[in-house]
Chain A
């Protein structure tokens, strides 16, 4: 069990650029979640997948955000035309839908995005 990994750990970009983040979940986990967290706040749910299907997406999520999990393993989160308000920590978590640790989310270290 190598844990949830995220890449990159830090990203600095200029306003208007596109960015893409990657998340590799724990291998046997079939659910994968994306959150955004700003300083002094709790995580804000963005979207989640079960296997390759995107089952829920936050109504607050701008259409500039898109996520994929094409083979049911790793996932990518893309932000198009970044804005300064997108600056935040982007967290990924994974969980399994069976077993003793059913539905317990394991979080990655996050990707910190700074939009200049």
Chain B
């Protein structure tokens, strides 16, 4: 069946560090892939998405590329800020969700 696996958190980084949060998936067909973010005290919100292989989603300095050959959709950001501290969720077709990765950015 379909599944999503995210790297476990928490991930703790210093401000301006490079971020990668890994997400791999198992799916039949050609799913759409999503990253959602949940800031402290707020609801889930869409960060970025990609609907087909080799598509790159980007938003707020975050990027993720849909890699069919490695069944991955890793989230990256070149220079993180304290305000990026949140829980990040990878989702397949918005119906199968990873467990979330808590990101903590220290000043």
Q: Which residue of A lies closest to B45 (CB)?
A: A107
Do B46 and A45 touch (CB < 8 A)? Answer: no
A107 to B63, CA, bound (A): 22
**A19-27, A35-43, A61-69: which lies at the interface:** A35-43
Do B100 and A41 touch (CB < 8 A)? Answer: yes
Do A110 and B43 touch (CB < 8 A)? Answer: yes
Do A105 and B94 touch (CB < 8 A)? Answer: yes
Known: A103-B94, A105-B94. Contact between A43 and B44, CB under 8 A? yes
**Total contacting residues, chain A, CB less than 8 A:** 17
Q: Which residue of A lies closest to B41 (CB)?
A: A109
A42: B residues at CB distance < 8 A: 4, 89, 91, 97-100
Q: Which residue of B lies closest to A44 (CB)?
A: B97
Known: A42-B89, A42-B91. Contact between A107 and B43, CB under 8 A? yes
Do A40 and B96 touch (CB < 8 A)? Answer: no
A103 to B32, CA, bound (A): 10
CB interface residues, A 78-94, toward B, < 8 Å:
91, 93
- The interface bits of chain A over 92-116 (1 if a CB of B lies within 8 angstroms of the residue's CB, else 0) are 0100000000011111111000000
Known: A42-B89, A42-B91. Contact between A91 and B97, CB under 8 A? no
B64 to chain A, nearest CB (A): 15
B32: A residues at CB distance < 8 A: 103
List 6 tightest A-B contacts by C-beta distance, closest first: A42-B97, A107-B44, A107-B43, A45-B95, A43-B97, A42-B89
Interface residues of B (CB under 8 A from A): 4, 32, 43-46, 49, 89, 91, 94-100
